[in-house]
Amino acid sequence: MDFKCYDFSVEKLSGKLRLPNGKIISEAMASEKLEQLKVLVKMVVRINLLKRLESSLEAFRRSLNRMEGYLERAAKYAKEKGIFIPPRVRGEVFWLIGEEEEEGEFPEPEEVLKYPELVERCRLTPAEVEEFLRGCEKDREKIQELLRLLPERDTKLERVEAWVEEILPSLTGNNGIIIFTQYADTARYLYERFKHPSLFLVTGEGARGPQGRRMEEAEGVEEFRKRGGLMVSTDILSTGQNLQNAQYVVNYDFPWNPVILIQRAGRVDRIGSPHPVVYLTNLFPEEDTLERFLGLMEKLYRRLEAIRSTVGLDASVLGEEPIPKDFTLIRALSKEDHEALRFLETQMEQFTNDPANVLAEILREKGKEWLEKLPYGIGSFMEGEREALFVAFTDGKEIHWRLRYFDKPQTETSPVKIIEILKGSENGRGERIDYEKLVERLRLVKLELIEEMERKKIRQRTRGPLGGRKTREIYEKLSHLGDEGEKLAAGFREVCDRITLVNQLYRAMKEGRLLEEAKRVIPPLLEESKTLPPAEEIKLKRICWCWISPHKK
C-alpha cells in the first residue's frame, strides 16, 4: 500500500504528528528531508497494522475495513470540496501512530469543518486532488486484495478455545481466567466467539457480562470477582485492579511497553492470593512469522531484562529468571516519584538502545574511515575503586556482559549495574597495560562464562517438564507406575515438548492405558533424538573489554 494519505498528512500537518513516545516527529527529524519523514510515518503505520495481524485476524480485518471506509470518504471530500481529511483529527492527528489503541471510527468530513485553521492548512490544489484520488484508489484496491487473502480459519483462536474449554470445567468457586489483548477489536472478537455462562468483556468503552448484558466497567470487574469464569480485557484492566480470585492470565498478544506485561500478571499474582500457584500463558507467534520478521519479541525481552535488573521481578513474565524486587524503588515508582521514574527510564535507555542506532551516531560523529580502523575486541583502561575486568562476549545470538573482580572472586552480569560502574570510573587513556596479565584474565573470564553456559545447558536437559497441566499429569502418573513407569517418565521428560505426543498420551491416560501407549511411542522417539546432531560447541567472540584498577599501570 502507498498510504498516500500519510504523505499528505506529513506535508500539511507534520507539526502535529507524534512518535509513540510523544515527541513531535518534525522536531525529531528537523535535519532530515520531508521525504524521509514520510517514509518513517508510513513505516510506523505498517508495523502497527502488522501488530494487529499478530493479535488477531479480526483486528486486522476490521482495521482494513475502517481504512477503506476512510479512503472512500476522504476521496469524495477531496473531489467535491478540494479539502484533504487527515486519517484522524481527534487527539493526535494520525490514526494508528500512538502506542495505545485508539477506538472510534475515521472522522466524517463534517468533523474537519469544526477546525477552521485545519481546513485552510488541508486545502488542496487541483494537481494535489488528482494525486490524492489516484493514491486512494490504489490503496483501496490493495485493501480488497488483502481482505481476499485472509484465511477463513483462525487457528490461533481455535487453540485458545480448546485450552479454555479444557481449563474452565476444572475451576471451582470464583476462580477464573483473564485474557489480555492490547486491541479492543480483538477483545470484542474473542468475547463474541467464546461461549460460557460466566463470560465478561472489559474495554475502554464499558463492559459486557453474560449473554451480552451491558454494564459499567467497575460493575463487570466486581461481578467477575464474585463469580469467576472467563474475562476478556484490554489493558485498561492491567493497572489498579485486584483480581487475585483468578488463577490464570493469558497474553493473547504483546504490547510495545514491557511494563504492561508485568502489570497484567500483577492483577492476579498478588500477596493474599488464595491460589498456591498462578499460571501465566503467553501466545508466541510461530517461527518465521510476523514477530520474527519485526524482531519485536527480542526487544521486549531486552526491555524486560532492564526492568528485571533495575527493579527486580519476583515472577517470570516471558520465561526469564525472576530476581527479588527492589521494594524501595518500587514504592517510589508507585508514588510516581519523578526522580525514580527518570532513573528507571535512564537505565532502560542505556540497556535497550539498538546497537544499529549507536553505530549510526558514531558514524555521524567519527566517520566511516575512523570506525574501519578500529581492531576487533577493542579495549580500554579505567581507574576505579576495585581491581576488575569487564568483557562483553557474543555467541552470535546474544550479548553476555561480565565484570569479573580480582580482589575477591565475584562476577557481575547485570548490564545496568556494569554501566553504572563504568560510568563512575575515570578514563585511563595513555596508561601502559600489562598485556600478559590482561590475556590471562581475558582467558579466565571467557572460560568461566563457557562453564556457566554448559551448566545451564545441563540443567535444561535434566530438569523436570515445565509444560502445561497435561504434561505434568502424564509425568506424575508415569512416575508412579513402578520401575518401568519411572524409566518411561524420564524418557518422556526428554521429548515432552512435542504437542502431538502429549495429546496422544493424555488420551491414553484418560482411557487407562497410559503405560502401554508410553511403551509403544516413547522409546522410538528417544532413539530418533539420539540420531540428531550433537549440541553445538559454545563459541564466544569478544566484543570489547575494559580493565578497571585502583592503581595506575
Cα distance between residue 420 and residue 308, in whole Å:
16
Least trusted range by pLDDT, from 52-56, 234-238, 424-428, 438-442: 424-428
Which pLDDT value is given to residue 186?
92
Average pLDDT score over residue span 143-158:
89
Cα distance between residue 551 and residue 381, in whole Å:
11
What is the gyration radius of the CA atoms in the chain, in angstroms? 28
Cα distance between residue 183 and residue 176, in whole Å:
21
Cα distance between residue 264 and residue 257, in whole Å:
12
Cα distance between residue 390 and residue 412, in whole Å:
9
Cα distance between residue 492 and residue 478, in whole Å:
9
Stronger pLDDT, 510 or 14, i.e. the higher one: 510
Going from the C-alpha of 73 to that of each of 85, 111, 133, 171, 385, the distances in angstroms are 9, 12, 11, 49, 67
Which pLDDT value is given to residue 88?
60
Cell of 478: 508415569
Please check the confidence at residue 350 and state whether its pLDDT lies above 90: no
Number of Cβ atoms within 10 Å of the Cβ of 36? 12
Stronger pLDDT, 268 or 429, i.e. the higher one: 268
Stronger pLDDT, 243 or 16, i.e. the higher one: 243
pLDDT digits (tens, 9 = 90+) for 111-136: 555 566 777 778 889 999 999 999 99
Cell of 456: 545451564
> pTM of this prediction?
0.50
CA pseudo-torsion sign 320, 321, 324, 329: negative
pLDDT digits (tens, 9 = 90+) for 21-43: 455 555 544 444 566 666 766 77
Which pLDDT value is given to residue 377?
52
Which pLDDT value is given to residue 417?
75
Is the separation of the CB atoms in 174 and 227 below 8 Å?
yes
Going from the C-alpha of 528 to that of each of 236, 481, 495, 520, 533, the distances in angstroms are 48, 24, 10, 14, 11
Phi-psi region of 351 (alpha: psi -120 to 50; beta: other; left: phi over 0): alpha
**Coil vs helix vs strand at 233:** strand
Q: What is the DSSP letter of 272?
A: T
Is the separation of the CB atoms in 139 and 4 below 8 Å?
yes
Cα distance between residue 239 and residue 393, in whole Å:
38
Nearest to 76 by CA among 10, 129, 9: 129
Least trusted range by pLDDT, from 247-261, 338-352, 357-371, 498-512: 338-352
DSSP string, 276-324: S--EEEE-PPPTTSHHHHHTHHHHHHHHHHHHHHHT-BSS-SSSPPPB-
Please list the alpha-helical segments (H only) found in 373-462. Answer: 415-423, 435-462
Cα distance between residue 456 and residue 398, in whole Å:
15
Sheet holding 410-412, edge to edge: 410-412, 399-405, 388-394, 541-549, 378-383, 426-427
Nearest to 275 by CA among 176, 398, 185: 176
Please list the alpha-helical segments (H only) found in 172-257. Answer: 184-193, 217-227
Which pLDDT value is given to residue 282?
78
Stronger pLDDT, 162 or 10, i.e. the higher one: 162
- Per the prediction, the chain carries an average pLDDT of 73
Classify burial at 335, counting beta carbons within 10 Å of its beta carbon; exposed 0-12, middle 13-18, buried 19 or more.
Answer: exposed
Distance of CA 250 to the CA centre of its chain: 14
Which pLDDT value is given to residue 465?
45
Nearest to 204 by CA among 177, 182, 227: 182
The confidence band for 353, taking pLDDT boundaries of 50, 70 and 90, is very low
Is the separation of the CB atoms in 101 and 184 below 8 Å?
yes
The confidence band for 300, taking pLDDT boundaries of 50, 70 and 90, is very low
Which pLDDT value is given to residue 114?
59
Domains of the chain: 4-149 (no CATH), 155-349 (3.40.50.300), 366-450+540-549 (no CATH), 461-530 (no CATH)
Which pLDDT value is given to residue 285?
64
Which residue's entry shows cell 474475562?
A: 231
Cα distance between residue 331 and residue 341, in whole Å:
11
Please check the confidence at residue 499 and state whether its pLDDT lies above 80: no
Please check the confidence at residue 552 and state whether its pLDDT lies above 60: no
Q: Which residues contact 194 (CB under 8 A, 6 or more apart)?
A: 161, 164, 230, 232
The confidence band for 69, taking pLDDT boundaries of 50, 70 and 90, is confident
Q: What is the DSSP letter of 271?
A: T
Which residue's entry shows cell 535434566?
A: 462
Q: Which residues contact 56 (CB under 8 A, 6 or more apart)?
A: 154, 156, 157, 181, 183, 185, 186, 189, 190, 252, 253
Cα distance between residue 390 and residue 379, in whole Å:
9
Please check the confidence at residue 419 and state whether its pLDDT lies above 90: no
Least trusted range by pLDDT, from 106-110, 244-248, 316-320, 534-538: 316-320
Please check the confidence at residue 232 and state whether its pLDDT lies above 90: yes
Cell of 72: 472512500
- Helix 499-510 crosses helix 469-479 at what angle (to 10 degrees)? 60
Which pLDDT value is given to residue 340?
52
pLDDT digits (tens, 9 = 90+) for 302-334: 544 544 444 444 444 434 333 334 434 444 444
